[in-house]
Amino acid sequence: QKSFYCLIMMMSYVINVFLLNCSHLQFVKFANIEEDTPSYHRSYDFFVSRFSEMCHSSYEDPDIRTKIRMAGIKGLQGVVRKTVNDELQANIWDPQHMDKIVPSLLFNLQSGEGTESRSPSPLQASKKEKESPAELTERCFRELLGRAAYGNIKNAVTPVLMHLDNHSLWEGKTFAVRCFKIIMYSIQSQHSHLVIQQLLGHLDANSKSSATVRAGIVEVLLEAAAIAASGSVGPTVLEVFNTLLRHLRLSVDYELTGSYGCTNIGTKIIKEHEERQLQEAVIRTIGSFANTLPTYQRSEVMLFIMGKIPIPGMHPMLHSTGSGPEGNRMIQVMLLKSLRQVTCGFQTTNMLTALPNSFLDPLLSFALLEDAEIRLLVLEILVSLIDRHNNLPKFSTISIISDISVLKLKVDKCSRQDNLFMKKHAQHLYRHIYLCSKEQSSVQPHFEKLYSLLALISMELANEEVVVDLIRVALALQDLALSSEETLSVYNRCAVHALSSAYLNLISQLTTVPAFCQHVHEVIEMRQKESPYLLPEDRLTIKLEGELLFQQAKITEVLGGSGYNTERLATPYVPQFTDEDRLSKRKSIGETISLQVEVESRNSPEKEERTPAEEITFETLKNAIVDSVGVEEQEKERRRQVVEKFQKAPFEEIAAHCGARATMLQSKLNQIFEITIRPPPSPSGTITSSYGQTQSRSVPVYEMKFPDLCVY
């Protein structure tokens, strides 16, 4: 047995020496020989297996081990060159071969992980680098991928995914990113979307893996999307974003519930900071994918993401697995952050078609929520959408600019499409700017974004009518700060004054009306001397006098003298409150019940008799004005009683009240059905109803008399 063992070892050594000296020279040369008569039965299975084994050599002597591995790599290179160009030979792209070749190459590539890939197409390596198995492996791997056709990409990439899974290489990210950089740079550009689709499928397969593994796959997706050429995501663009958004929602559920599902409770520990890192990685990847898309596809993605966001009163709230209302809020925040990433750098010549009602209406409804973070995200999205000439960095903070020419602003004449857009959406934008300024929870970033939004509307979408309306809004903000002592804090009131003054300073210089600029300059100078807290630089306490305020009459006079239509400016701006504003607020249970009861009482069937129209006279108007305070107090008292009734009344009483309403409603429905639905005609004639009217009497089918021809 000892002799037999020695013989085996000697034969193995001889084979290794032979392959070491000949394989990478003779086989590569053999691969370049053109054959006159093809062989239909030649097989390279033995060579693939043997060369792959040599790539994993663990010989004790480092120099010999390096030579053996390099010989194996060159042998695999020769096999690939010999087979890929000959359609009659065995298919080297079959999984049985790729499962040996690709892991062997990755094994040697990983051994030289310290050396980063120099460029998409490495230059001629030096003699020393040629001796490195890692460099030789990278060149061989690039050559293999460069020869891959459309139908072979999957077989070449699948072993890479399996290798990274088996050796837990996703968590490190560095090697995985390096591998896919090589893949994306080596394959033909029109095949890039196939690699991205495989990565998305692999992400789905690891949906219940640890957050670090999923984050590694997402980081690789991020790098792959950055390398891919424009439009290479493929025809299933929305499916890419649907997959990423689904994993974003799963991550939120995992973070809030603390488990990966009912079957895995207690088997894995959820780390919140890792899930947060994954969520940020997904959001960055969504933005990276969006940057590769043309404008029209990005608009579709924006609509797609908006359709996924739960919106109170419009889109149904999500039913997350055990996450509850907090899960819905986190989903709103994460999807709005994703939408913000998609809108970064969004530029379109026709905003009316790029931003339809189905997108703007739900987006603006978020500006009415009490959640300060959500409102800030909405403002950032609006600012990003409107900024088409990269003017936003110049208005990142609220400040009084004495000469805006130093900013070198890019202002174009408002196009016809922009005029139509503002004619359709201007009042909605003004109303939400006003209401957002009125929120007590608004802080400095909110006011900075509001200032940016007003400034960008003035430069991107403003005509003469829009300018007048924007000045009205600015003056209305000043009045808001004056009349909100009970509802707004001192800081917020000063911030609103600062916002109004900074914007009027800007719009006065944009309009280039000297008298308007002079009036604004005088008020700002007076504030700097007497009340600096009304300017952006200092906001402490409020003590106002007439000369410290911007005068609407004065502005109306100077603009009218310059040809502006000041009829609208003479009318103070008052936002129109709608049901959308009331329903979008997060109300308490009592307020919600009282709102529902109020709506029901207005439409109650008990009020069958309409009150006759009252004659309007001077005395009627006078009494209405005098008694308005009393009416408001009575309305508040009535609402309080309704809320108290539903909160404190016994359940039986509330149930009886609702049951009586239901019974009356059903009786009314029955009357309507009797009027609108007539019974079928009957051969039995008619009957007289209790009201003296003739009605057709319905007769059962078995009592009807049919002609003989109809019976068989």
DSSP string, 166-202: HTT-TTT-HHHHHHHHHHHHHS-GGGHHHHHHHHHHH
Structure confidence at residue 577 (pLDDT): 56
- Tokens at 310, concatenated: 């739960």
Decide if 94 contacts 69 (C-beta within 8 A).
no
How far apart CA 293 and CA 296 sit, in angstroms, is: 8
How far apart CA 368 and CA 580 sit, in angstroms, is: 9
How far apart CA 495 and CA 234 sit, in angstroms, is: 48
**Total residue length of the chain:** 712
**What distances in angstroms separate CA 169 from CA 101, 551, 696, one per listed residue?**
19, 67, 82
The yes-or-no verdict on residue 104 having pLDDT over 80 is yes
Q: Residue 325: CA atoms inside 13 Å, Cβ hemisphere, count?
A: 2
How far apart CA 56 and CA 50 sit, in angstroms, is: 10
Q: What residue type is 282 in one-letter code?
A: V
**pLDDT band at 598, cuts 50/70/90?**
very low
Decide if 200 contacts 243 (C-beta within 8 A).
yes
Dihedral, CA atoms, 315, 316, 318, 323, nearest 10 degrees? 120
Taking Cα atoms as reference points, which of 436, 369, 373 lies closest to residue 584?
A: 369
Q: What is the pLDDT of residues 444-479, one digit of tens each?
A: 899 999 999 999 999 988 888 899 999 999 999 988
User: Within 10 A of 679 (CB to CB), how many other CB atoms are there?
Assistant: 11
How far apart CA 128 and CA 229 sit, in angstroms, is: 34
Q: What is the pLDDT of residues 507-564, one digit of tens each?
A: 999 988 889 899 989 888 888 888 777 777 544 444 455 566 777 778 887 787 777 7
CA of residue 120 relative to chain centroid, distance = 31
Q: What is the pLDDT of residues 188-241, one digit of tens each?
A: 888 888 898 899 999 999 988 889 999 999 999 988 888 875 545 555 678 888
Taking Cα atoms as reference points, which of 541, 436, 557, 556 lies closest to residue 499?
A: 436
**Which strand (E) or helix (H) includes residue 694?**
strand 694-696
**What distances in angstroms separate CA 519 from CA 397, 472, 531, 552, 567, one per listed residue?**
23, 16, 17, 11, 20
- Tokens at 555, concatenated: 């502005």
Highest mean pLDDT among 383-387, 561-565, 588-592, 639-643: 383-387
- Tokens at 162, concatenated: 């399996």
Decide if 313 contacts 583 (C-beta within 8 A).
yes
Q: What is the pLDDT of residues 134-155, one digit of tens each?
A: 888 999 999 999 888 888 899 9
**What distances in angstroms separate CA 520 from CA 101, 437, 534, one per listed residue?**
75, 21, 13
**What distances in angstroms separate CA 468 from CA 146, 426, 478, 568, one per listed residue?**
62, 12, 16, 7
> Is the Cα torsion angle 319, 268, 216, 384 positive or negative in sign?
positive
Structure confidence at residue 699 (pLDDT): 58
Decide if 565 contacts 465 (C-beta within 8 A).
yes
**What distances in angstroms separate CA 173 from CA 168, 176, 214, 678, one per listed residue?**
10, 5, 10, 73
**What distances in angstroms separate CA 403 from CA 175, 254, 394, 462, 505, one per listed residue?**
53, 53, 13, 20, 10
Q: Is 172 exposed, middle or buried (0-12, 13-18, 19+ CB in 10 A)?
A: middle
Q: What is the pLDDT of residues 53-65, one digit of tens each?
A: 888 888 888 888 8
Structure confidence at residue 547 (pLDDT): 63
How far apart CA 363 and CA 341 sit, in angstroms, is: 15
Structure confidence at residue 620 (pLDDT): 64
pTM: 0.70
Q: What is the pLDDT of residues 11-36, one digit of tens each?
A: 555 555 555 454 445 555 555 555 55
The yes-or-no verdict on residue 312 having pLDDT over 50 is yes
How far apart CA 146 and CA 59 sit, in angstroms, is: 32
How far apart CA 293 and CA 276 sit, in angstroms, is: 27
Q: Strand, helix or coil at 687?
A: strand
